[in-house]
Structure 1
Amino acid sequence: MERTITFDGDPNIGVFARVLGDIAIIPPEAPEDFKAALRAALGVTLVETTVQGSSIIGSLVAGNSRGLVVSGLATEEEIDILSQHREVLLLTESMNAAGNVIMANDSFAAVHPDMPSDLREAIGEFLGVETIALVLGGVKTVGMAGVATNKGVIVHPRATDRQIEQLEKIAQVPVGTGSVNMGSGLVCTGLLVNEQGYIAGNATSGFELGRIEDVFGFLE
């Protein structure tokens, strides 16, 4: 099976979509080959919607199997669509690009270090997880610098041993470093993954794909 693709020619596929277990949230204009690749590689149900009228779903949505955390600027129609698949928590404060500032699985959520503690606690309670404020490799937008599933976590290649140790204590799954699209440490921008499989931006090298497969346990 082909493990790389673009979104209408753009290898930054994680900017336009967010995979959360058995669903993939994608914009309505997603190309048919992109939809087919997600179904084949990940076995997901496709949820087609914009968020706050935008197609950059990956930056605006985070969550796990229990719920979705979404920009508070989402419209009622968008919230209605998302609510058919998960409970929804809206971020109504200034730090509302949920996909940029939150990385989560069913055990933990890592958040932007400048996020107010009361908001971090609210997110943790909503998702039913332990939370941690974290920087990864000098990047505060942890939702872009890491990708988590219930089988593994891949993070920015410049993440320090200390940062990885912090994650390992709460993640309950293997944590490793990697990159996408020929060296980008913002791994979420070029990777869509769940427990069933993965797909990466088409500029991702064979070595980078190998690291993804290793971290998430897909090596045969």
Structure 2
Amino acid sequence: MTIIRMAFNRNPFLGAYSLCTDKIALLPSIFRFNEREVEAALGVPVVRTDVDRSPLIGVLMAGNSNGLICSELFEIGSGAGSLKPDVTVVPIPGKFNAFGNIFLVNDYGAVANPDLPEEILKLVGQKLRVPVVRGTIAGIKNVGAVGVATNRGVLVHPDVTSDEAKLIEKTLNVPVEVGTACAGVKFVGLCMAANSKGAIVGMTTTGPELGRVESALGFI
């Protein structure tokens, strides 16, 4: 497993712009970066694309090895034509659109913003083939912004409560640890993208923070 530090045009908030599963990584088409280095770290193909001309892939999309979800209001850019045959993007109806922020997902489960209606939870559960529960992290409803989940572990906001951590562990079936990234940022979901094979984190992430990322995501 490999972790690399990088930035998009000096912007360290990689998680806002990237979505990674154990099958594929979606990264924005407008930024320059070393694709081979990223593919080597994550162990999956990199596809350059956008969401309705926005580079905020990590904010607007969520998913796991079974599929990706995005609001039906958006169109996925031309790079999506390079998706693997078994990777599908499922349009989700309704007013909610920042799925990367409102879902924390791995291949075993999903934790969702508690404001989401039951019909959305059921649809997402069917498409991603996982149980979905409502929850918060540190009292924050946008769980995807304050957590990073893989099939090995979860890194979350340092102020998560014990009850919240227990719910996450039960739902995602992996251990939970707390930490920060990008030199003290608690919204770790906006700072990195990761899967079971590796991670890319914001360039400003410190050495001690990298150690916590490695531990939480099961790389050591």
Separation of aligned partners in 1, 2:164 and 2:78: 35
Question: Which residue number corresponds to residue 214 of structure 2?
Answer: 213
Structure scoring higher RCO (CA < 8 A, sep ≥ 6) equals 2
Displaced runs of 4 or more, over 4 A = 76-80, 82-85
What does 1:1-220 align with in structure 2 at a 5 Å threshold?
Answer: 3-33=4-34, 35-75=35-75, 81=81, 84=85, 86-219=87-220
How far 1:162 moved relative to its partner? Answer: 0.6
1 or 2, which has the higher helix percentage? 1
Q: Is the alpha carbon distance of 1:37 and 1:83 closer, same or farther for their aligned partners in structure 2, counting shifts above 3 Å?
A: closer
Q: Is the alpha carbon distance of 1:213 and 1:91 closer, same or farther for their aligned partners in structure 2, counting shifts above 3 Å?
A: same
**Aligned residues of 1:149 and 1:195 also touching (Cα < 8 A):** yes
Separation of aligned partners in 1, 2:133 and 2:202: 28
Q: Report the more deviating stretch, 38-47 or 4-13.
A: 38-47
**Aligned residues of 2:111 and 2:171 also touching (Cα < 8 A):** no
Separation of aligned partners in 1, 2:109 and 2:3: 31
Separation of aligned partners in 2, 1:102 and 1:51: 17
With the length of structure 1 as denominator, give the TM-score of the two structures. 0.92
Q: Provide the secondary structure at the position in 2 that maps to 1:63.
A: strand
Q: Is the alpha carbon distance of 1:186 and 1:108 closer, same or farther for their aligned partners in structure 2, counting shifts above 3 Å?
A: same
**Aligned residues of 1:91 and 1:98 also touching (Cα < 8 A):** no
Q: Is the alpha carbon distance of 1:74 and 1:211 closer, same or farther for their aligned partners in structure 2, counting shifts above 3 Å?
A: same
Q: Report the more deviating stretch, 48-57 or 1-10.
A: 1-10
Q: Report the more deviating stretch, 127-136 or 90-99.
A: 90-99
Q: Provide the secondary structure at the position in 1 that maps to 2:193.
A: strand
How far 1:79 moved relative to its partner? Answer: 9.2
Separation of aligned partners in 1, 2:153 and 2:76: 34
Separation of aligned partners in 2, 1:167 and 1:76: 30
Taking only the aligned residue pairs, the percentage that are identical comes to: 35
Unaligned runs of 5+ in 1: none
Which residue identity is paired with 1:180?
A: A
How far 1:133 moved relative to its partner? Answer: 0.5
Q: CA RMSD in A?
A: 1.8
Q: Is the alpha carbon distance of 1:19 and 1:88 closer, same or farther for their aligned partners in structure 2, counting shifts above 3 Å?
A: same
**Aligned residues of 2:51 and 2:76 also touching (Cα < 8 A):** no
Map Cα deviations across residues 124-179 of structure 1 (whole Å, 9 max, x no partner). Answer: 11111111111101211111111111111111111101100111112211111111
Unaligned runs of 5+ in 2: none
**Aligned residues of 2:101 and 2:143 also touching (Cα < 8 A):** yes
**Aligned residues of 2:8 and 2:14 also touching (Cα < 8 A):** yes
Separation of aligned partners in 2, 1:148 and 1:78: 27
